[in-house]
Structure 1
Amino acid sequence: MMTTSPISRPRERIIETASRLFFRQGYCSTGINQIISESGVAKASFYAHFPSKEDLAIAWLRQREENWMQQLSERVGQHLSADKRIVAMYSMWYDQLREEGYRGCGFINMAGEFSSEESPVRACVRDHKNRVRQFVADHVLDQYRDTMTSGGFDELVDVVYSLFDGAIVQAQNFMQEWPVEVALKASLNMLSHERGEAS
């Protein structure tokens, strides 16, 4: 999620303005001239930092990922058990819903506006989602790695990651929190099932 703070440098103002407009209007409906006008920078300054709107989109996604992953790591890192780490992980969605409303995942929203799978923006989104899945494997479910087969562990990671990532999309779709609540419960039930099989 994005955190806002007083900013003065042109590049930061441009990204902050783009973040607000992309979320509110969508990428395709937001023009460069509007971004320039609302960020209060000169056109030459805009193009000095971002040769194209697509370059700006990628810069915004990368900044958003850096902030989001840092917060996720801090929350998850406070807990030792996988159950509590999953609860901490889902707290990101609850906070995002409170702060941004039912706008869903900024990465998924952005990817949906680019039809070509070869788009650098879609590649950026795929890379981000792969890093989130790897984070789930390495920092949320890692205690299960040595007690399961490699295939079983990968399947557990895929299911927990898919439940987590899909929850924010469905919360946007229904404009309610219950998809997040259901996905959290299902993720915890998965871990309970795995412990039951191991006992």
Structure 2
Amino acid sequence: MKQSEVKNRIIETASYLFYKNGYNLTGINEIISETGIAKATLYNHFKSKEDICLAYLQFKNTSFLKDIETYTATKQKGKDQILAIFDFLNLFFMDKDFNGCWCIKTVSEIPRDNDRIRTEIQSQKNSFIQLINTLITDNLEGLSKTQTESLARQIYLLYESAVGESHLHQADWPIKESKNLCTIILN
């Protein structure tokens, strides 16, 4: 098996385990066992569990941004394309493996001074705000740059609260209500 295939398998396995069980409850030995590799093989690709976590976060975020961009692009131009992020979230919620936000789950488990993971998560959240900003710019007219940035952050906060609350309540009403609030904000 190629080195890149082994590395990808480690990342995919760790991603599944970290998202399902949490970062702290997933041990290196579990990742090794589930991946079916030797400990030395894992350490040839990653120097630490933290490095695996960073790869996990990047893997999840790359997939998320690609999938949400693809999904929103299929929707009618205008407000519908912006609101589609909540429809995308609802599809994500309906998945049997939905377990909330991988970033928030991870950041809640790391020490406050873990700047590597925290910085990665902040960067990912900023990338999502930028995606929303682009959706607004492409679909709404007459807003200044400052107004667009503020609106993007407001929609981001609605989306993030919908993720957390739908996970907590195991219901989709937070997603629906966040979309309703977003509709009001956009009008």
1:125 to 2:121 alignment: yes
For residue 156 of structure 1, the aligned residue among 151, 166, 179 is 151
Residues 89, 163 of structure 2: 8 Å contact kept: yes
Residues 144, 153 of structure 1: 8 Å contact kept: no
Tell me by how many angstroms 1:67 deviates.
Answer: 1.1
For residue 83 of structure 2, the aligned residue among 81, 87, 106 is 87
Tell me by how many angstroms 1:87 deviates.
Answer: 3.1
Tell me by how many angstroms 1:150 deviates.
Answer: 3.9
Structure 2: distance between partners of 1:126 and 1:100: 27
Structure 2: distance between partners of 1:184 and 1:117: 35
Cα RMSD, aligned residues only: 1.9
1:39 to 2:35 alignment: yes
For residue 183 of structure 1, the aligned residue among 167, 172, 178 is 178
Moved more, 92-101 or 181-190: 92-101
For residue 164 of structure 2, the aligned residue among 158, 166, 169 is 169
Total equivalences in the alignment: 184
Identity %: 27
Tell me by how many angstroms 1:65 deviates.
Answer: 1.1
Structure 2: distance between partners of 1:146 and 1:20: 41
TM-score of the pair, normalised by structure 2 = 0.90
Amino acid paired to 1:18: A
TM-score of the pair, normalised by structure 1 = 0.84
Amino acid paired to 2:171: Q
Structure 2: distance between partners of 1:119 and 1:63: 19
Tell me by how many angstroms 1:108 deviates.
Answer: 1.1
For residue 142 of structure 2, the aligned residue among 119, 140, 147 is 147
1:126–1:81 Cα change, 3 Å: same
Structure 2: distance between partners of 1:25 and 1:173: 16
3-state DSSP of counterpart to 2:24: coil
Q: Quote the residue 1:196 is aligned against.
A: none
Amino acid paired to 1:183: S
Residues 72, 84 of structure 2: 8 Å contact kept: yes
- 1:3-152 equivalences under 5 Å are 9-138=5-134, 140-143=135-138, 147-152=142-147
Structure 1: distance between partners of 2:170 and 2:76: 33
3-state DSSP of counterpart to 2:95: helix
3-state DSSP of counterpart to 2:74: coil
